[in-house]
Amino acid sequence: MSNTSHLRAIINGRVVLPQREPADANILIRDEQIVEIGSFEIPSDAEMVDARGALVAPGIIDIGVFAVDPAACRAGGITRVAVMPDQSPPLDEPGLIQRAAASGKPDHLWVHPVAAATRGLKGEEVAEFALMRSVGARAVATGRGWIADSGVMRRVLSYAAPLGLTTITHPEDSGMVGGAVATSGETATRLGLPCAPAISEAMAIARDLAIAEVAGAPIHFRQVTTEAGFDLIRAAKARDVVRVTCGITPAHLFLSDIAISDFRTFARLSPPLRDESDRQAALAAVADGTIDMIGSGHDPRGPEDKRLPFADAAPGMAGAETLLALALGLVRDGLIDYARLFALLAGNPAKLLGLDAGRIAVGAPADLIVIDPDAPWKIDSDRMAARAGNTPFDGLPGQGRVLHMLKGGQPLG
């Protein structure tokens, strides 16, 4: 067996480094690890990737996907996914976690399973986190739903915290939401759709925050989408009693409930699209640091789930391959810089999952993407790499393409 190391160099790139502007630099990789960044003599035996002035960034770590979709992830610059427990069967026992953790290797993407908070995701009996953690679970989640029983939620948080696991929750008060498929307001009223007030999100957040603070447990709200919700998150961060983080998807940053006006089931999401004032509050929450992560919410749905009346269609969208292009719009619009963008897309998700990844630094894993942030393209649901093309951005222009991708130092796609 050979002990020879393999060298690869990315040259002539603008490298996205933590908390600073992109810098003109080269990157040297030995096997799976970054060993040098900056201006240095390139070893003669190194394989070369010429970035030609393009952006070199950490591979995206997508928090909270519902399907492992390697083709879509490669197209979108995603090198790691945290897969939600809402599988068939739910990820509520060690064998299922172990199988999920192994599914991304060796030549697709890293898969980090998230354990079901309760048996069968029914919200009744706390699952066995310790055993699931021992075989690869990186967090605990309530899945697509909210745990209505406050006693159960307290046990989940109290059990997860000493194990070093963050609890990821879906913040919608199920008692208020019921069978709603839209946010209460002019659009839902005009379309005659079952709807629920946006305050259902803030009510769920307020309760879960109260329990997390009593339990002394870290908590992550997978998608916060309303002004009232952001206000609660800001206040909790200011109290600094426990670690509180929150995320969002591009859909809730760039679309409002007007997108459902023609009963477009591709825009049937959970939580539902909000009104324009909440969308503007979401953009402000990205700019001021309230939002910690941007994920794709990748949940591809086939025709059998989407070619139905709006109220009967399954919520969800194919988001993996549009995540990067849409998120780059936040930089073009001047809301944030590249360092902050890739903290949202990679660095902060890595911290939540306890991964030594998500940044470009000497000693870090060589999970890297080379991007042309200005490359134009049209989002076309019929031509997507995803298992299904149910994107609410169908037909809209995108900007930003992945030119090269390395996972553990090895080229992908």
pLDDT tens for 354-396 read: 999 999 999 999 999 999 999 999 999 999 998 888 999 999 9
Give the Cβ contact number of residue 131 at 10 Å. Answer: 14
Strand-pairing partners, residue 57, are 369
Strands (E) across 53-194 are located at: 55-58, 60-65, 78-83, 110-113, 115-116, 140-141, 167-169, 182-183
At 103 the pLDDT is: 85
Q: How would residue 154 be classed by pLDDT, with cut points 50, 70 and 90?
A: very high
Rounded distance, CA 139 to CA 133, Å? 8
For residue 36, the surrounding DSSP H or E stretch is: strand 33-38
Predicted confidence at residue 151, as pLDDT, reads 98
Strands (DSSP E) contained in 54-106 are: 55-58, 60-65, 78-83
Q: pLDDT value at position 33?
A: 96
347 DSSP assignment:
I
What is the structure's pLDDT at 43?
Answer: 94
List the beta bridge partners of residue 317. 298
Residue that is written with structure tokens 């928090």 in the block: 63
Total domains in the fold of the chain:
1
> Is residue 225 domain-resident?
yes
DSSP 281-336: HHHHHHHTT---EE---B----HHHHSS-GGGSPP-B--GGGHHHHHHHHHHTTSS
For residue 326, is it within any domain? yes
- 184-191 mean pLDDT: 96
In the chain, the percentage of residues whose pLDDT exceeds 70 is: 98
Q: Is 258 within 8 Å of 183 (Cβ atoms)?
A: no
- For the cut 70, the answer to whether the pLDDT of residue 241 exceeds it is yes
Cβ–Cβ under 8 Å, residues 77 and 405: yes
Any domain includes 150: yes
The answer to the question of residue 366 being in a domain is no
Output Rg (C-alpha) for the chain, integer angstroms: 21
pLDDT (tens digit per residue) in 19-73: 889 999 999 999 999 999 999 999 999 999 999 999 999 999 999 899 999 999 9
d(CA 401, CA 254): 19
Average of per-residue pLDDT values in the chain: 95
| Residue 5 lies inside a defined structural domain of this protein | no
**pLDDT on residue 104:** 76
Within-domain flag for 392: yes
Which 8-state DSSP code applies to residue 27?
E
Q: Is residue 188 part of a domain?
A: yes
CATH number for 79: 3.20.20.140
Residue 204, CB half-sphere, CA atoms under 13 Å: how many? 31
- pLDDT band at 276; cut points 50, 70, 90: very high
Residue 18 burial (CB count, 10 A): 14
> 303-327: string of b/e by CB count within 10 Å (b at 16+)?
eebbeeebbebebbbbbbbbbbbbb
pLDDT of residue 1: 41
- Six token digits for residue 297: 């919410």
pLDDT in tens, 254-271: 999 999 999 999 999 999
Which domain does 345 fall in, by range?
Answer: 58-359+372-399
For residue 132, what pLDDT band results from cuts at 50, 70 and 90? very high
pLDDT in tens, 107-130: 678 999 999 999 999 999 999 999
> Which two tokens mark 228?
């009232």
DSSP state of 381: G
The C-alpha atoms of residue 22 and residue 48 are separated, in whole angstroms, by 20
pLDDT score recorded for residue 2: 47
pLDDT exceeds 80 at position 3: no
Q: CB–CB of 109/70 below 8 Å? A: yes
Q: Is the pTM of this model over 0.85?
A: yes
The token pair at 115 is: 């354990």
Distances, alpha carbon 195 to alpha carbons 72, 215, 307, 407, in Å: 32, 33, 20, 43
Is residue 29 assigned to a domain? no
